[in-house]
Amino acid sequence: MTPFGQRVRELREARGMTLAQMAEGLGVSPAYLSALEHGKRGRPTFTLIQGAIHLLGVIWDEADELVRLADLSHPRVTIDTAGLDPEATLFANRLAREIGLLEGDDLRRLAGMLDEAAARRDPA
């Protein structure tokens, strides 16, 4: 499941909407929406994201979150390490091979490290 798919499912269920009802409202098949929720489809289109925002009646903050999650929800990621330190290539390849071994706490720690690196790069 992708972060976008998980959040859409949570919002849909919180509003008592079935997968079939949401799919009809978005003009897509239930199979497509299910595949999107489960990460078996690529990133949703801008039009589908906006349709989901409207159909689910989400407020501004939730809408921004859905747009951000959609951008970060491509289930097949490619990492270009050309021109980077060889350690970056090693890390990217190890991550690709071993990500399935990581547990939630491991993933949160790695995400925290990325947040810290981003903050050092762009102190706002």
For residues 12 and 67, state if they share a domain: yes
For residues 10 and 33, state if they share a domain: yes
Q: For residue 124, is pLDDT > 70?
A: no
Overall number of domains in the chain: 2
Higher pLDDT, 10 or 75: 10
* 40-to-95, 105, 107 alpha-carbon distances in Å: 20, 24, 21
For residues 16 and 67, state if they share a domain: yes
- CATH classification at residue 66: 1.10.260.40
* 81 found inside a domain: no
* 60 found inside a domain: yes
Higher pLDDT, 4 or 74: 4
Domain extent at residue 15: 3-71
* 8 found inside a domain: yes
Nearest to 110 by CA among 120, 96, 88, 95: 95
Q: What is the pLDDT of residues 7-51, one digit of tens each?
A: 999 999 999 999 999 999 999 999 999 998 888 887 888 999 999
For residues 34 and 10, state if they share a domain: yes
* 46 found inside a domain: yes
Q: How many CB atoms lie within 10 A of CB 41?
A: 18
pLDDT score at 122? 80
Which of the 8 DSSP states describes residue 79? -
Give this prediction's pTM. 0.68
